[in-house]
Structure formats: C-alpha cells, structure tokens
Amino acid sequence: MALLDIEGLSVRFQTSSGLFAAVEGVNINVDRGEVWSIVGESGSGKSVSMLATMGLLPWTAQVTADKMAFDGQDLQQLSSRQRRRIVGGEMSMIFQEPMSSLNPCFTVGTQIDEMIKQHLGGSRKERHERALDLLAQVGIPDPARRIKAYPHQLSGGMSQRVMIAMAISCNPRLLIADEPTTALDVTIQAQILELLLRLQEDTGMALILITHDMGVVAETAKHVVVQYAGRQVEKQDVKSLFANPRHPYTEALLSALPERAGDQDRLPTIPGVVPGQHDRPTGCLFNPRCRYATEHCREVEPVAAPDDPARTLCHYPLEDGISPSPAAAGVARDNPQSSPHREVRP
Amino acid sequence: MFKFFLVKLAQLVPTFIGVTIVAFAFIRLLPGDPILLMAGERGISAERYAELKAQMGFDRSLVAQYFDFLKGLLHGDLGNSLVTHSPVMDEFMSRFPATLELSLFALAFAVIIGLPAGVLAAVKRGKTLDHTVMGVSLTGYSMPIFWWGLLLIMLFSSTLGWTPVSGRISFLYFIDSVTGFMTIDSLIAGDWGAFLSALHHLVLPAIVLGTIPLAVIARQTRSSMLEVLGEDYVRTARAKGLSNFRVIMVHTLRNALISVVTVIGLQVGLLLAGAILTETIFSWPGIGKWMIDAISRRDYPSVQGGLVLIAFIVMIVNLLVDIAYGVINPRIRH
C-alpha cells in the first residue's frame, strides 16, 4: 500500500466567469521513503495539487479525487479534526517564501514549540530540548541563541532552515517541499537541497519536491510527475524520463537544460506561456507550443493510453525520442536548426 | 525599548509648542470680547473698559500675552477663569474625571463589541453575518451623535423609562469623591445602590459616544484580519495542523491588532471631541460641557488652557499607543 495514493485529483475554483479547473487528473502514489518530484512551469498547478492534498486551499476551492489516501486513510472522509492530526504531524509541508512563511510576531522557538505541542506533547522542557536539537539538525549555528530570534532577524536561508526544522519536528512520514529554494540565492539553494536529502535519508521519510528546475530533479528524485496547465502530462521514474521523455513538453523542458544545449549559442526555449484561465486552447492544452502538433491535437483533447505506464497525455507520445506525429516529419530531433522554434545563430 | 520611548517623547515637544500657538490664537480669532460679554446688554463706559482690559492683561501685545501664557504653562499655571476667577487647572481637573469615565466606558463598549464583530465578519467573509456587521457599522458611523443620542433618550428614557435622561448619579446618593469616577467611588463607599445608579446614568451616553469608534474599530479589524488571513504565515499555521480557532485568534489576530491599535489610539481624540456633544445632550458635567460654556463666554484662559490640556492628553495617549506597538510588533521593538 502506497503512503500517499492520489488518483484523479481535480481542483476547481469558482470565479466570476465560471468554474476554473486549476488542476485536473493528477495521479501520484508515493511509497514510504521515496523521493518524488513534480515539475512544470509556473501556473502548472504543482503547488495547488499539493496544497489540496494538505487541505490548505481556501474554501473557494472545490477539491475532488477518485482516491486520496494517506497510509490507507481516505483523506476525503476524515473530519477536519482527524485531518489536522495528519497534517503537520505525519505529513508536513514547507513553502516557497521562507521569509513570509514564519509569523513575524513570535520567536522561532515559540513557532517550533507550538507544532511539537500540537502533535507530540511533552513537558515544556522536553519540547524546548527537542526544538534545540532540531535547529542543530538543520544546521543552524548557535541554536540556543537563535531559538529566541524573531523571523525578521533571520536571513532567507536561515528562515528556510527553521521552516524545515518545524516541518520535521513531529517525525513526519511525508514531507512536501514546494519550491523550497526558489526565493534563495544560488549558493544557499544547493545547501538547502542537500539538507533536505540528508534528512530524507536519515529519517526515511518520503519527500515530494515541487520544482521547475530539471537539474534539481535529476539530482534528487526517483520518480517524476510532469504537469502542464493543471494536467499531469507524464509520470516516469527519473532515469527513463531523462533517457526517453514521452511527452513533447517533457522533451522541450529537457532540451532547455544548459547541459543538453551542447555548443549552441543560445539555449533552446519553449515559445509562448502556459495558458491561463481565459486563453485555454481547444484540444490538447500544449498544442500552441508543441512543435509536433497537428490538426487533430488542436481539436481533440488527448487521454492517456490505458496500457501506457507513463500515462502520457498526448496523441503522439514519443518513442525513443521520435514522435510518431505526422507533423514531426520535418522536425529532426538531432538537428536543431531545422526546428521552427529554435533560434540558433551559425 | 527605553531609547525608543525617549525618541517618541522628544518628538512630542514641537507638537506641543504648535498646540499652544493654535490654542492661544483660536479663541482670539473668534469675534466677541469677554469684557463686553460680561458687561451684558447695559454696556460699559470707555474708562471702565480700559481699566478692566489692563487688569486682565489684554492691553498688551499678543506676542507678550502669548509668552505670559507659555511662562505660566511651564509653571503648571494656566491662569484664572475670567468668569469664576478660580484657577483653570482646578476647574479642569474637577470635571475631567467625569469625561474620562464616560470616554473609557465608551471605548470599552466600542472595543468589546467592535473587535469580535470585525473578527467574525472577516472569518465569515461574504456571508450574511459579514454583510450585517458591515451594514450596521456603516449606519453607526454615519449617525450624527446629536440625533442618535436624542433617539436613544426618546426610546429608553421617555418611552421605556429604563434609564435616566441626564446627570451622572441620582440625587438620592452622596458619595465622597476619591477617584472622581462615580462607579469606582460608589464601590469604594460600598454603596451598591449608588453604583447601580451611576451605571444607569452612564449606559446611554457611553453607547452614544462609543458608536462611531465601534464602527471604525469593527471595519478596521475586519479589513486588517482579511489582509493577514492571506499571508503565507497563516497558511503555515494551518499546515501545522493547528485548530481553526488558534489560527485565527493567535496567528491572525495578533498581527491584525497592530493596525487596529493605531485606530483605537486615534479614536481617543475623537472620543474627547465627541464628548462635547454627548455631554451637552446628557447634561454630563464633564469638560466638554465646560468648554462649550467657556467658549460662549469668551473665557480666554479657560478655553486656551482646556484646549492645551486636552491636546496634551491626546498626545500622551498616542505615545502609549506607540509603546503598545512595540509590545505587539517585535519588528519595531528590536
């Protein structure tokens, strides 16, 4: 039995112009101790799907799923009181903006203590000891002094370490990290990722890492979910994903990696932006940006083939890097010059 | 924290000097003359007029008069009332407790009802409760004090006969003045009947005076809560698995209070201004009514002295608000 088992997760928001499906058809099944990654551009619904799992979306959100279970418990059937016992305790989350994610009115110690008190209990002294241990564990120097600090006295990296200390304070079995390094500078990013992976290994908890950095995915995750415009377009283990991306979007993301650009002068890009609420195309949501798109793609919404383990949401999934799409005839993968989307100077 | 306090205190000095100039100039800008008003309809001879003018010091230049006023002020002497000839300071202090008692009850009424109403409206945003609270508070805010006071007197005092129409306490009771607060003095005297009578007299004026601050506090609390509810750290608090009550009352309200406290502080000035109308309607023997009388008699020392003292009190309250800030908001303290 998977630790986190989600099938067909959808999140809809009631807006002035009707119901907007921010997330649709997301499946994820994380086993104990596994590291998963969810990738996609901004606006792909990565955060929303995980916030829905945690039950942190505002009341305007309508969350539905065919299945949404944590360790066998159906999250949709639990009372809010029962769910709060899981959220924070067994399943915890850290966020994109560490500086604004800590309450400015309370000290670091108070905020960690509050969480331990909620889920583990113990005497004031025991909780204090635990908070000190946790701060040391996440690499905060001089924990005895820092525990009395207010969030505005900490740097972004320190704040994220405090958030991590808080998130792991109750020995969760699953940690969801929502772009934990986006707001930090590059040197700190690596440290925070390293810390998360070390903690994951030490404690054996499962980790879901939301990111838009394929490089991070390659270094960290075992399994990858690719999302585009709220839809899950592909799900594979990391090795096969990098070797054989099935969805053209995944392929495009990978070719945008500097390491893969080879000696080209310019990095390949994916033209256009993720469609928002008002400019959703008909047919496949990726078709305006896909270089293999055909008339069929523009008219008919794709469904994943039942026998496809990657559940690729594409009419013409790539096979060994080659698209069976009729539109692919003029697009040779190894010759970027011929791609209409790639701008390469001689 | 101590340095923070000293800086705030030093900032009060220029404000206070400005207040003395305005207070001094204000009453002299009004048409009318205290001596002519005292003489009444029969008039006064030119010699007697000049004599009185010299006696009161009004024959000297305005600048010299202002510096006399300032000099007295620094010695804690605001001069004597032209009408009663007793020191302005004494007159003020004998009436101030009545106004303070009224204002404190009004403020307590406004905070005790306004704050929870604002919190509830924010939590139930867009629901019937929210619309009700905001609608009622807009009505309260738009209500002229005079009219509102008269409406309440008509309903509760005349028609229902629940509360007395005016005054601070029934004539049946004589209480020694210790604090100047009728409610507290009657408790000190152990006179339960007097306490209830004082409370009866206090209820309507406190509601009338507290209505506008209540509306302002409720609206500010609501908007401030809504703003904070959207903050990342509130989401963090929810992610910790805390109860909804704790998320709202601890994590959200604590931050929302920062701006609410400012507004409560600003209401104190409004309360003292509103007290003038309320005291007039309810014949409440406080400084509001005293100031109105002093202005109509062009009692220069009383008006300028009263204005300076009221301004001083408002400034002190604002200083206290600034300090309360530091206590609530660690970003200012550190």
ipTM: 0.86
Whether the Cβ atoms of residue A236 and residue A224 lie closer than 8 Å to each other: yes
CA A128-A132-A137 angle, 5° bins: 145
Contact A153 B334 (CB under 8 A): yes
A174-178 and A223-228: which strand pairing? unpaired
Does A204 lie in the same domain as A129? yes
Q: How many Å lie between the alpha carbon of B292 and the closest alpha carbon of chain A? A: 45
Does A148 lie in the same domain as A35? yes
The pLDDT assigned to B334 comes to 66
- Closest by CA to B148, choosing from B211, B215, B213, is B211
Q: How much of chain B exceeds pLDDT 70, in percent?
A: 99
Considering Cα of A179, then A180, then A183, then A188, what sign does the dihedral take?
A: negative
Does A157 lie in the same domain as A105? yes
Tell which of A227, A244, A274 closes a domain: A227
Does A196 lie in the same domain as A279? no
Whether the Cβ atoms of residue A55 and residue A83 lie closer than 8 Å to each other: yes
Arithmetic mean of pLDDT, A327-335: 59
Report the b/e string of B321-331 with b at 16+ CB within 10 A. Answer: bbbbbbebbbe
List CB contacts (< 8 A) between A101 and chain B.
232-233, 235-236
The pLDDT assigned to B229 comes to 93
Residue at A75 is within a domain: yes
Does A272 lie in the same domain as A221? no
In the Cβ-directed half-sphere of A280, how many Cα atoms lie within 13 Å?
Answer: 16
Residue at A193 is within a domain: yes
Does A295 lie in the same domain as A150? no
Contact A95 B236 (CB under 8 A): yes
The pLDDT assigned to A309 comes to 86
Contact A152 B232 (CB under 8 A): no
Task: State the residue range of the domain holding B114.
Answer: 88-333
Considering Cα of B153, then B158, then B163, then B166, what sign does the dihedral take?
A: positive
Does A199 lie in the same domain as A278? no
> B325 falls in which pLDDT band (50, 70, 90)?
confident
Rounded-to-integer distance, Cα B300 and Cα B155, Å: 39
Look at A113 and B293; give whichever has higher pLDDT.
Answer: A113
Helices and strands of chain B, counted as H and E runs: 15, 0
Look at B21 and A341; give whichever has higher pLDDT.
Answer: B21
Does A273 lie in the same domain as A135? no
A61-64 and A4-15: which strand pairing? antiparallel
Does A113 lie in the same domain as A65? yes
CATH number at residue A94: 3.40.50.300
Whether the Cβ atoms of residue A224 and residue A216 lie closer than 8 Å to each other: no
The pLDDT assigned to A146 comes to 93
Q: What are the residues facing A237 on neighbouring strands?
A: A223
Contact B254 A105 (CB under 8 A): yes
Question: By the CB < 8 Å criterion, does A84 face chain B?
Answer: yes
DSSP B30: S
Torsion of CA B307, B309, B314, B317, to 10 degrees: 180
* Model pLDDT for residues B261-293, shown as the tens digit of each residue: 888 888 887 888 788 888 888 888 888 889 888
Is the pLDDT confidence value at B48 over 70?
A: yes
Q: How many Å lie between the alpha carbon of A282 and the closest alpha carbon of chain B? A: 33
What count of other Cβ atoms lies within 10 Å of the Cβ of residue A104?
A: 17
Task: State the residue range of the domain holding A177.
Answer: 4-227
Residue at B27 is within a domain: no
Residue at A182 is within a domain: yes
The pLDDT assigned to A331 comes to 60
Nearest-by-Cβ selection for B239 from A88, A97, A100: A88
Q: What's the per-residue H, E or C state across chain A?
A: CCCEEEEEEEEEEEECCEEEEEEEEEEEEECCCCEEEEECCCCCCHHHHHHHHHCCCCCCEEEECCEEEECCEECCCCCHHHHHHHECCCEEEECCCHHHHCCCCCCHHHHHHHHHHHHCCCCHHHHHHHHHHHHHHCCCCCHHHHCCCCHHHCCHHHHHHHHHHHHCCCCCCEEEEECCCCCCCHHHHHHHHHHHHHHHHHHCCEEEEEECCHHHHHHHCCEEEEEECCEEEEEEEHHHHHHCCCCHHHHHHHHCCHHHCCCCCCCCCCCCCCCCCCCCCCCCCCHHHCCCCCHHHHHCCCCCCCCCCCCCCCCCCCECCECCCHHHHHCCCCCHHHCCCCCCCC
Q: What's the per-residue H, E or C state across B282-306?
A: HCCCCHHHHHHHHHHCCCHHHHHHH
Look at A298 and A320; give whichever has higher pLDDT.
Answer: A298
List CB contacts (< 8 A) between A80 and chain B.
244
Q: How many Å lie between the alpha carbon of B235 and the closest alpha carbon of chain A? A: 7
List CB contacts (< 8 A) between A90 and chain B.
none
CATH number at residue B166: 1.10.3720.10
Is the pLDDT confidence value at B215 over 70?
A: yes
Residue at B195 is within a domain: yes
Residue at B166 is within a domain: yes
The pLDDT assigned to A344 comes to 33
Nearest-by-Cβ selection for A84 from B243, B331, B334: B243
* Model pLDDT for residues A131-146, shown as the tens digit of each residue: 999 999 999 999 999 9
Is the pLDDT confidence value at B175 over 90?
A: no
How large is the greatest C-alpha to C-alpha distance in chain B, in angstroms?
Answer: 86
Question: By the CB < 8 Å criterion, does A97 face chain B?
Answer: yes
> A337 falls in which pLDDT band (50, 70, 90)?
very low
Whether the Cβ atoms of residue A35 and residue A206 lie closer than 8 Å to each other: yes
Residue at B284 is within a domain: yes
A73-74 and A206-211: which strand pairing? unpaired
Residue at A239 is within a domain: no
Is the pLDDT confidence value at A248 over 90?
A: yes
* Interface test with chain B among A57, A97, A101, by most B beta carbons within 10 Å: A101
Does A282 lie in the same domain as A196? no
Arithmetic mean of pLDDT, A24-47: 91
Question: By the CB < 8 Å criterion, does A183 face chain B?
Answer: no
* Model pLDDT for residues B116-136, shown as the tens digit of each residue: 999 999 999 889 999 999 999
Arithmetic mean of pLDDT, B11-28: 89
Torsion of CA B267, B270, B275, B277, to 10 degrees: -140
> A37 falls in which pLDDT band (50, 70, 90)?
very high
Does A93 lie in the same domain as A35? yes
| Domains: count for chain B | 1
Residue at B267 is within a domain: yes
The pLDDT assigned to B129 comes to 92
Q: What is the mean pLDDT of chain A?
A: 88
Does A171 lie in the same domain as A28? yes
The chain A residue lying nearest B256, using CA atoms, is A105
Rounded-to-integer distance, Cα A144 and Cα A128, Å: 10
Report in angstroms the alpha-carbon separations of A303 from A172, A225, A226, A306: 35, 16, 15, 9
Is the pLDDT confidence value at A311 over 50?
A: yes
Q: What is the mean pLDDT of chain B?
A: 87
Instruction: Report residue A197 CA to chain centroid gap.
Output: 15
The chain A residue lying nearest B328, using CA atoms, is A105
The pLDDT assigned to A67 comes to 92
List CB contacts (< 8 A) between B242 and chain A.
84, 88, 114, 118
> A70 falls in which pLDDT band (50, 70, 90)?
very high
Arithmetic mean of pLDDT, A63-72: 92
Residue at B264 is within a domain: yes
| Domains: count for chain A | 2
Whether the Cβ atoms of residue A188 and residue A157 lie closer than 8 Å to each other: yes
The chain B residue lying nearest A103, using CA atoms, is B233
